[in-house]
Amino acid sequence: MAVEWAGLGPELLITIDRDSGTGLRAQLEDQLRAAIRTGRLAEGEKLPSSRELARALGLSRGLVQDGYAQLQAEGYLTSRPGAPTRVAPCAVVDPPPPVGRREPERPRIADFRHGVPDLRLAPREDWAWAVREVCRTEPNSAFDYGDPCGELRLRKVLAAYLGRVRAAEVHADRLIITSGMAQALGLLLRVLAANGVRTLAVEDPGAINSTTEQATAAGLATVPVPVDEDGLDVAALARTDARAVLVTPAHQWPTGVVLAGHRRQELIAWARERDAVIIEDDYDAEFRYDRDPVGSVQGLDPDRVVSLGTVSKSLAPALRLGWLVTPDRLHPALADAKRIADRGTAALDQLALATLMESGRYDRHLRRARAEYAARREILLTALAEHAPGLRVTGLAAGFHAVLHLPPGADEDSVVAQALSRGVGLHGMARMRRVTPTDPQLVLGFGDTPRQAIAAGIAAIGDLLR
């Protein structure tokens, strides 16, 4: 779609060199042709009026009108009485080089992609209300550069929330607001590397690829540690040279197991003995169903655990809001790293989140989302029981994904490929493992998969699963 500019006409970068020896009209026409051919001026885009362009370039209006008329005759421009001059729809445009990676098309029936909440549930009206409230009530100072560690109001609200809901031991002056989970982890890994940490242990299976990218950028090596039915194998961790470990204890990604109580104690003991740091990724703890609440590991030893959180799952990834709960000894370095990185996360968004939480709208949204995900979980289980009976399903006590255990000998990649040919997107567990062998499994996300798509998708691939 062509850009529509407000006002008398859009600005247009044209340079006229009166000492070049080339006629002024020729320069104007040549630059307009080049702009159209290269796509800088898109099909249907409005040009400045001849009067405005003549004034901006210091040319006579008649010269600009003659130039426009010549380009109309050549088929580059089009105009009609009383309407602005525009780039003609049939103008020859050399396609610009491709930019970035093109997003693949979503499967037409269902896409069981994981790690994404229901984007349709994003509380747009509540967020818009919170932003309006901030703009209406906050003083002028709120629009200045703020504290790089984050707005104090949000840090106080988050400290109270995390203490109440996650049993974390949090003080507002030890919270750092970040631009999402990725920035939080990146800052932390760089600070750990500067403090002499050389190896980061990661759960296997887990988010190995993305974590390895972050660790490599910080100068750290990564070592996989297996996960079993009790969570991270701390004995295996102790056999590595790691002095930092990234864990998802409340709902292990992607198996869904909870780090058992005795493993939590073993993990704390390992960190104290090795002078190590535990990085707790509390990515979707808000969404639990038929399981007792599980507290934060950070609450067991605030001096050894750095807790990372985000609203990417609870609200929407596009908000790019996260946080670090820091031990005293790491806070100054992390605060400096955040200040150097970007001088602080967008202050108005922070204040909007604080307003949302203080008003109770955040909690109400979580209750609605939790009820919706619980309903989808039941639809998924019912569909699997009908179309793939006998297959074990695990990891459903919290979050919005499940692990489906395929029959022994099944080929994950083949099942995924055949399902995609039928319009259903699946994801195999093997791609999330580095070393630990596993039986064939699928990770079925239902966060951003509508109810009707869940049932239709499983029905379309039932024979493949069996």
Residue 106, pLDDT above cutoff 90: no
What six digits make up the tokens of 384? 């699997």
- Residue 421 is which amino acid? S
Domains of the chain, first to last: 1-102 (1.10.10.10), 110-118+365-465 (3.90.1150.10), 122-359 (3.40.640.10)
- Alpha-carbon separation of residue 219 from 182, 198, 202, 240, 307 (angstroms): 16, 7, 15, 18, 21
Q: Is the pLDDT of residue 38 over 90?
A: no
All residues at 6 or more sequence positions from 341 whose CB lies less than 8 Å from its CB, including other chains: 183, 187
Range from 49-58, 179-188, 217-226, 299-308 carrying the lowest mean pLDDT: 49-58
pLDDT in tens, 129-179: 999 999 999 999 999 999 999 999 999 999 999 999 889 999 999 999 999
In angstroms, rounded to a whole number, what is the distance separating the alpha carbons of residues 113 and 373?
14
322 contacts 184 by C-beta, under 8 angstroms: yes
- Tens of pLDDT along 233-245? 999 999 999 999 9
Give yes or no for residue 104 having a pLDDT over 70.
Answer: no
Region 317-326: what's the mean pLDDT? Answer: 96
The percentage of residues in the chain with a pLDDT greater than 90, rounded to a whole number, is 75
Taking 90 as the threshold, does the pLDDT of residue 372 lie above it?
A: yes
Residue with tokens 């500019």: 5
- Tokens, residue 77: 């421009």
pTM score: 0.83
Percent over 70 (pLDDT), the chain: 93
The residue whose two tokens read 């750290």 is 220
Report the pLDDT averaged over residues 197-222: 94
* Banded model confidence at residue 102, pLDDT cuts 50, 70, 90: low
What is the overall mean pLDDT for the chain? 91
Helix (H) or strand (E) holding 178: strand 175-178
Q: Which of 285-294, 330-339, 365-374 has the highest mean pLDDT?
A: 330-339
Strands 221-228 and 231-232: antiparallel
pLDDT given for residue 5 in this prediction: 43
Q: Higher model confidence: residue 5 or residue 37?
A: 37
> What is the chain's alpha carbon radius of gyration, rounded to the nearest angstrom?
28
Q: Which two tokens stand for residue 144?
A: 């200045």
Per-residue pLDDT band at 98 (split at 50, 70, 90): low
Q: Is the pLDDT of residue 9 over 70?
A: no
Higher pLDDT, 251 or 425: 425
> Per residue in 252-288, is it b (16+ CB within 10 Å) or e — as a string?
bbbbbbbbeeebbebbbebbeebebbbbbbbbbbbbb
Measuring CA to CA, which residue among 261, 183, 252 is closest to residue 218? 183
Q: Which of 81-85, 96-100, 218-222, 354-358 has the lowest mean pLDDT?
A: 96-100
Residue 366, C-beta contacts closer than 8 angstroms, at least 6 positions apart: 286, 314
Identify the pLDDT of residue 2: 47
**pLDDT at residue 316, rounded to an integer:** 94
Q: Tell me what pLDDT residue 7 has.
A: 41
- Reduced to 3 states (helix: H, G, I; strand: E, B; else coil), residue 300 is helix
pLDDT one-digit tens code per residue, 244-295: 999 999 889 999 999 999 999 999 999 999 999 999 998 776 777 766 677 8
Q: Is the pLDDT of residue 1 over 80?
A: no
Q: How much is the average pLDDT of 35-55?
A: 89
114: its two tokens: 């994981």
Give residue for tokens 């800088």.
40
Instruction: Flag whether pLDDT at 346 surpasses 50.
Output: yes
What's the confidence (pLDDT) of residue 396?
A: 85
